[in-house]
Structure 1
Amino acid sequence: MPQKQDYEGQCHCGAVRFSAHTDLSGLGDCNCSRCRRLGWIMQSMPEADFTLLSGADNLTTYHFNSEMIDHLFCKTCGIESFARSSDGKGNVMYMINVNCLENPPKVDREAIKHWDGANF
């Protein structure tokens, strides 16, 4: 089983920075109208494994569909480097955009989990 590592990521302009402690073993994408346009590669993690390092005051929130996910965007460059929601038990979860990590790993899109958000 892969070991968790510490990663750092940011939006395009660097105003929003975060760290994540994860093994990147649950990579996925989604075909909903929003994710399809953004080309996200997602990795979820519990709140304890995510830290917002800077830029909280530079984030703006977007909700759509069920309004259950806080899509958090940098006000300066418009990049959504992570989102926040909760699992079915009420635990806060974060979803990072792996493409926003510093030195992002190479990802084989055929080998990741595909979420059918378009028909959810």
Structure 2
Amino acid sequence: MENQVLNGSCHCGQVQWQFHGDPGSVTACNCTVCRRYGVLWAYDYEGENIHISGQTQAYIRGKALSFNFCPVCGCVAYWRALNLDEEGRRRIAVNVRLAEDPEAVAHLPIDHFDGLDTFDDLPRD
């Protein structure tokens, strides 16, 4: 599935993302932000397998993450690490609930992450 490209966009189409390849799984986080947004994340690194276009606004959470949303329709499109990792890469995750073709992501297993208390991975669905 290396040639697979998943496309997603906010409701009005101003913000778009592409995920090149198969994300393998998606993550449901139970932190106070993700729970309220109702998102499912597919992770990679900025400029590698994930490409974003369109202007966004951001909600900065702590010193680690920005949650980026469309200023027109309000859809949360992705989160982005504020800092580079030790390898000089920036972690990013797109909200697969915005996938243009929901069937293209329906088969992906859902990993659970306890972002509320322990910051541990939880059992997969």
**TM-score bracket for this pair, using the shorter chain length:** 0.7 to 0.9
TM-score by structure 1 length? 0.82
Letter in 2 for 1:49: N
The CA deviation at 1:87 is 6.4
More helix per residue: 1
Structure 2 gap segments, 5+ residues each: 120-125
Residue among 62, 69, 72 paired with 2:68: 72
Aligned to 1:31: 30
Q: Is the 2:37–2:76 contact (alpha carbons within 8 Å) kept by the matching residues of 1?
A: no
Letter in 1 for 2:78: F
Letter in 1 for 2:27: G
Aligned pairs, how many?
Answer: 112
Pair 23,75 (structure 1): closer, same or farther in 2 beyond 3 Å: same
Aligned to 2:123: none
The CA deviation at 1:112 is 1.7
Structure-to-structure mapping, 1:75-94, within 5 angstroms: 75-85=71-81, 88-89=85-86, 90-94=88-92
Residue among 107, 110, 113 paired with 2:111: 113
Q: Is the 1:22–1:45 contact (alpha carbons within 8 Å) kept by the matching residues of 2?
A: no
% of aligned pairs identical? 30
Aligned to 1:11: 10
Distance in structure 2 (CA, Å) of the matches to 1:36 and 1:6: 27
Provide, for residues 95-116 of structure 1, a one-character-per-residue CA deviation record: whole Å limited to 9, x for no partner. 01111111022257xx421100
Letter in 1 for 2:59: Y
The CA deviation at 1:26 is 2.9
Distance in structure 2 (CA, Å) of the matches to 1:50 and 1:30: 20
TM-score by structure 2 length? 0.79
Distance in structure 1 (CA, Å) of the matches to 2:10 and 2:94: 11
Distance in structure 1 (CA, Å) of the matches to 2:42 and 2:9: 15
Question: Once superposed, which parts of structure 1, at least 4 consecutive aligned residues long, lie more than 3 Å away?
Answer: none
Structure 1 gap segments, 5+ residues each: none
